[in-house]
Structures are given as C-alpha cells and as structure tokens.
Amino acid sequence: MPYRAPVADYRFLFDHIVALPQVTGTDKFADATPDVVDAILTEAGKLCEEVLAPLQRNGDLHPAHLENGVVRTSPGFAEGYRAIADGGWVSIAASPDHGGMGLPMTVTTAVNEMMSAACLSLQLNPLMTQGQIEALEHHASPALQEIYLPKLISGEWAGTMNLTEAQAGSDVGALRTRAEPNDDDSYAITGQKIFISWADNDFTENVCHLVLARLPESIPGTKGISLFLVPKYIPDSDGNPGKVNTLNVVSLEHKMGLHGSPTAVMQYNGAQGWLIGGANDGMKCMFTMMNNARLGVGGQGIGVAEAAYQHALAYATERRQGKTSGETGAIVDHADVRRMLATMKADIFAARAIALSCAVAIDMARATGDAEWSARAALLTPITKAFGTDTGIAVSDMGVQIHGGMGFIEETGAAQFSRDVRVTAIYEGTNGIQAMDLVARKMMDGGDAAFTLLDEIEADAEAAKTTLPDLADPVWQASETLREAIEWLVAQQDLGARFAGSVPFLRGFARVLGAHYHLKAALAEPGGARERLARFYITRLLPEHKGNFDHARAGATDLMALSPEDLAA
C-alpha cells in the first residue's frame, strides 16, 4: 500500500491537543501563521508520498556499499536527498541568520516524522545535519558559523555525530581519540570511531563530522572530553571544499535493517579539526545535538509505526481468511486483528501527542526563556524518545503478525519496518538510559516539573467529568497513581532503587500521558472515531500503568539478589 502522510492528524493535534497557537502567538514564531503551517504540512506530505516513499524498498534491496574507498548510496537516494535539500526541508527550524526558515520545532517534528515513515534510511541523513546545525548555532565561533552553517542549512554539505568507539559505547567517557594543537587555531584529530550514521555519501559536496576527542593532559571521564568539527574536505579561503582531510571510511557495517543508511567505521589520522565550545566542554556541546536527535529519533519510531500500521490495515481489509462476525469478510473483522489494529492506532496517537508536546515545550522555552518550559521539555525528551521508539517496534511487530505467514516473507515489506526501526531503541542513548535519565537527572528538582504537568492533567480530567465521566475519572485516578509513584521515587536516596524500576516507570508515565491526550481528543470530537479510540485506550491500555508503577516501586533488592550464577542456572 502506498504511504499516505497523516496531515489531518497533525492539524488536529496542533489545534486541539498540543496548542501550537501558543507557540505561533509569540514574537519569535509569529511568522508561522496557520496558512504557512498548513502549506508546510501539505507540501511535506506530497514530498514524502511521491518522492521518498518509493525509495523505501530500494534502500533495503540495494544497500549502500563501499567501493574503492567511496560510499555508493542506494538507487534514487541522491535524487531523493536533492528534493529534500532543494525544498528547504533540512533547515526548517534553523536560524534565518544563515538561511534557515526559523519555524517552530513542533512543525519540524511533524515533517521529520513523515519523512521517517516514507524512507527512514534516507531521513536519517538530514536529521543528523539538523542536529549539527543546532550545535553550531549554540556553540561554534562566529567565524566557523559563517563558513559551515549556510552550507549545512542549504543541504550542500551534510553533518554527522562521532561519539562511539569500540571500548566506549554508552560509556562515552572511556573514549581515546586524541586532539593535538596545531600551530594555527586548529587541532590534529587521531582515533577511530564506530557506528557513524551517514559518515559519507556520494551526493553532497562535503561531510562535516562533530568528533569527541581528548586534549593533551585532559582529565579522565566525560569531564575531559572536547568537541571538534572535522570536515571531509577542508574549506578554502572562499569557504568552498578544498583539500581532502586525513580521514577515511574504513568499512560499512552489515546491519539487521536500515540498509540504505551507511553506518561506518571512521579513521582519523591527524585530521584537521576546529574546537567547538570551550576545552573540555564537549559533552555539554554534544548534548545540544543529542537532545535534538532524541526528539527526532522518537519521531522516527512514530513514523515507522504509522507506515507499518497503514501497511497492516490495508492487508487486513483485503485478506479473507476464516469466518468473521463482520460484514466485510476480511480479517479486519476478527476480534484479535481488530485488537491489534486498535492498539497500533491508539499508541501511535499517544506517542505522537507526547512528541509534539515535547516540541511545543522546546519552542516555548526558546521563545520566552521561561525555566518552566525548559523543565517541561527536559522531562518529556526521554519519554518521547523511549516511548516513541518502543511504539515503533511494537507496532511494526504487530504488523508482521497481522500479515501472518506473509509477514515473514520479505516481498510483502512488512518485515522491513520491524528490521529498520529496531535500532531506534538503541542509538542516541538506549531506552534504558533514557529511563535512568528520567528517574535521576530529571527528578533532581524533587519532581516539581512532573507535578506541574500532573496538576494540568488532573485539572483537565476534573473538568471533563461533567461531559465524559467514564473516561475522565480513570485518567484522574491514573494521574494520582503516577503522583504517588513520583513521591516514592524522589524519596529514594539510593539510585539503584530508582534504576531497577526505571523502564516500567517511564512506560507507566507514557501511558498516563497518552490517556490525557486521548481524553482531550474525545472532548474535541465527541461521539466520533476519536472518542471511540480514546475509550479503547483508556479502558484497555491505560490499566497497564498500575502494574508498571508497582514494578517501579519494588526497589532493587530482589532484582540484584539474582546473581550471575542464578541467571546461568
């Protein structure tokens, strides 16, 4: 089935769920009028449906490969990328100071999700560039900004992020890449990085790498890491690609999915690079890019979920097998298939609403400088990333199940969604790390940001009791259960007790948020499909929160009592 961009769903969410008008009502985003936003969504949808979606299978069947040291990309990817760049889709949220559109991150999030649904392997390229643009806007010197930002924003050049080394995965502080000062203001970067997405391509003039490395005599761990911009081609005096830098792609990984996206081992042999931010500020600078990417990766999971759902729904409405109680005679009328489809659709809506709410908080923080909005964005980022990608994995898996035996056959395309999306729960910080971040760093305020959000949820539920009491009351009760779980959590001085239940805690938090957004949807369109979907979610999926919070509050004693020998017995 051809992909169809869910533009109407974004419009509904913008108007009724996440309150985009409060963003566009600020001076910073006043140019993002309803007409402009509508045009952006419509044109992005056309790009995804007509240009990017037809490339989805090409990337899987004809992977990127290394040929005499040059990365050759999948058929049609160069043309697809050019359509993205020429349309300005790389630079939606970038500052107009260097050629960007300056539109809200909320709009960018919707566009990125559509592109992820259409062709995740290709979308990963501009997502990395967007993150690099934001990092350079915040931390690079004016001179470097003048050289690199216009080229990255136009899509003439592409950006990457180089963190991981063989001995330094999630433990970034264990990295060994070195940076030695040169006679000028540059540095010589030496070391090897692995798992570098889109480390090279054959359709942009230059590839610019943000590389974490250690200066001489830097202290061990993350506090001794600095960030450097290391281009494939060193810009000449006119800012154009000049001599080739001393770096190269060693090899490309053979992956479970995302075959169209080249993932490389990169070698730096005294490559010339420039410091971004201050010495030993590398993690602070890189987290600007990583937090951008975490929102984007959550959107990738949601996008793939949408594509997998559409694929499964089309099959379920055409496939006839066995006797059904419905009128169509297709498997969509079997109760369990209907259950899976409803779960898919309900969780996609919940995850999408969480992601867009996170983006709204980011936009409001930028527009107002309000610390409460910054705290809201920080709180929602790990939930967006983890729940969005978990939803992508679960929905694509259900898509295979709905296809039955045909789902296990590659030609149907159902399995590709599952293979492609699986890595999103791993990169940009595993979902376990997101959960640990939520229960530790994001609760350093004693839970204040979370409690403020819960106050809003409970106020909305209280108001809804006069209209939809059977839906509003369970949402209010679930919010109170979440409040109690947070109170228990912040009282734990032992982080081990928090970490042991961090993943179910995040999952339960997301369940409550999803119920809140579904209730708002039901109130906005009572008596229709959105109310019926909300009823399904609140009745059948929301109750999972209690088990999640029971797990979260169990502490670590029984878990850690299981020794490695016990696990091997």
408-441: b (≥16 Cβ within 10 Å) or e: eeeebbbbbbbbbbbbbbbbbbbbbbbbbbbbee
Distance CA 288, CA 155 (A): 20
For the purposes of burial, counting CB atoms within 10 Å of the CB of 254, is it exposed (0-12), middle (13-18) or buried (19 or more)? exposed
**Distance (Å, whole) CA 532 – CA 289:** 39
Q: Please confirm, yes or no, whether 428 is among the known catalytic residues.
A: yes
The residue annotated as part of the active site, out of 113, 165, 428, 531, is 428
How far apart are the two ends of the chain, measured CA to CA in Å? 48
Structure tokens at 67: 């040929």
Which residue's structure tokens are 């705290």?
375
Q: Is the dihedral of CA 388, 42, 318, 13 positive or negative?
A: positive
Q: For residue 466, what are its two tokens?
A: 């006069």
- How far is Cα 383 from Cα 377, in angstroms, rounded to an integer? 10
Residues 525 and 490: their CA atoms lie apart, in Å, by 38
Q: Which amino acid is at 344?
A: M
DSSP bridge pairs for 528: none
**What would you report as the CA-atom Rg of the chain, rounded to the nearest whole angstrom?**
24
CA distance 526 to 36: 28
> By 3-state DSSP, what share of the chain in percent is helix, strand and coil, each rounded to 5?
60, 10, 25
Q: How far apart are CA 186 and CA 450, in angstroms?
A: 44
Cite the active site residues.
428
